Amino acid sequence: MQKQAKVINNKKPLGPRIRKYWQFYLLFIPVLAFVIIFHYLPMYGIVYGFTEYKVGMTPKFVGLDQFRKLFGIVASDASEATKMLAARKSQPFWLAFQNTIVFSVIKLLLNTGFAVIISIFLNEMISTKFKKVTQTIIYLPHFMSWVVTASVFTLLLAVGQSGLVNNLRRSVGLEAVNFLAEPGQWKIWYYIINVWRETGWQTIIFMATLTSIDPGLYEAAAMDGAGRWKKMQYVTFPALGNTIITVLILNLAKIMNLFESVFVLQNDAVRNATNVLQTLVYYEAFNSGAVPDLGYSVAIGLFRSIVGLVLMLICNYASKKVRGRGIM
């Protein structure tokens, strides 16, 4: 590590480096242009978070008003009615913020946990053919769109005769349950559906790690008298540890990006309790009966980005500590 740091410190100034390696810099130009055009220029849209802006109308600068609205902040001398309105208006925002974090973190832990377990099972399989078939089957759900996934599970969980799960419950004398209409049940099924859809795909990275473990380690462990469990305990798990942490850290940075999976499974009975920030923005915009104020939506988006950035910095710091290198 020290050696690497020394090399960096001895770097030549940018100008001479460009002159020396101009061919590489030339090749880099399209990528740089792409990043600037599609990632940096659109950031200009951030300014709308400080305006009141409806489609077709000229944006009006309102300073931090959109953020005050978001957080329910009003002037101390405002009337009680205004304070009450502001407080109620910001309630769903905080609930959606909490949901975004909770849903994402639980989803991440469950998906990673199940992916590790399944990877180990797959790795232990002796029949290569069976292993490959199993892998193909568990990868498939990842390629289904969320809309199709939601339609399939809505049918499976239906209360009426088309609902497979409730038909099974009825067949053993249990009452049918409207799984997607009660917030507690909805959340459980949300996690189950996510695990079903994403776990298989996530096993790829763990399978890669497992196959790269030196077989000599297992042979040595066997010679030391280790059984299957002991081999897993002392060889497999330590080898996977670094990958698990890497996967968790990399995904933590993305936890604010939650929309489609929630949106397609929501319904009127649970919408308020299950909104995440992006679905909240959507409903605020399209359920209002008026042309939406995009400034407010941008303000929510900007807040989301700032939280995402903070998480990213934390992850980068954690990554440096754990892996010796950052994620950016």
Partner 1 sequence: MKKLIALTLALAMCLSLVSFSAFADDTVKITILVDGTIPDQNNGRDAFEARWEELHPGFDLEIWQPDHSAYYTDMQQRMVSGNYPDVLILSSTYYADFARNGVLWDMTEAWENSKTKNSGRFTGDNVFEGLKIDGKLYGFAPTRGNGCVTYVKKAWLDAVGMEAPKTFDDYIKMCEAFVNNDPDGNGQADTYAISAAGFIGNEAPFINYLPEFYQDAYPYFVQQEDGTWIDGFLTDTMKAALERLRDAYAKGLIDPDTLTNSTAQARTKFYDDKFGVFTYWAGTWATNLKTNLEANGRSGELIALPPLEGVPAYFDRVPPVWAITNKCANPQLVFDTFIDTMLDGGDCQMLFTYGPENVYYSFEGGFHMLENLEKAGTNYTKFHIDPMLALASFAEGYYDPKEESVLPEAKAASALFNENSRLASIVPATEVMGEYNGQLTTLKNEMVANVIMGVKTYDQALADFQAAGGDIFSAAIVESLNALN
Token pair, residue 60, equals: 């009006």
Give the residues across from 61 on adjacent strands. 51
Cβ closest to partner 1, residue 198 vs residue 293: 293
Least CB distance to partner 1 at residue 141 (A): 20
Least CB distance to partner 1 at residue 188 (A): 16
Cβ closest to partner 1, residue 4 vs residue 82: 82
Instruction: State how far the alpha carbon of 72 is from the alpha carbons of 15, 76, 89, 207, 285, in Å.
Output: 51, 12, 7, 48, 18
For every residue of 158-183, DSSP letters joined together read: -SSTT-HHHHHHHHTTPPP--GGGSH
Cβ closest to partner 1, residue 29 vs residue 81: 81
Least CB distance to partner 1 at residue 100 (A): 17
Cβ closest to partner 1, residue 38 vs residue 229: 38
Cβ closest to partner 1, residue 1 vs residue 290: 290
State the amino acid at position 37 in one-letter form.
I
Least CB distance to partner 1 at residue 161 (A): 5
The residue ranges that bind partner 1 (CB under 8 A) are: 54-57, 69, 81, 84-85, 87-89, 91-92, 154, 158-163, 176, 178, 180-182, 267-272, 275, 283-294
Token pair, residue 131, equals: 């292993």
Helix 294-323 to helix 237-252 angle (10° resolution) is 150
Least CB distance to partner 1 at residue 68 (A): 13
In this structure, how many other beta carbons lie within 10 angstroms of the beta carbon of residue 219? 11
Cβ closest to partner 1, residue 41 vs residue 309: 41
State the amino acid at position 278 in one-letter form.
Q
Cβ closest to partner 1, residue 90 vs residue 246: 90
Residue with tokens 């330590």: 238
Round to whole Å and give the CA distance between 300 and 117: 37
Least CB distance to partner 1 at residue 286 (A): 7
Least CB distance to partner 1 at residue 314 (A): 32
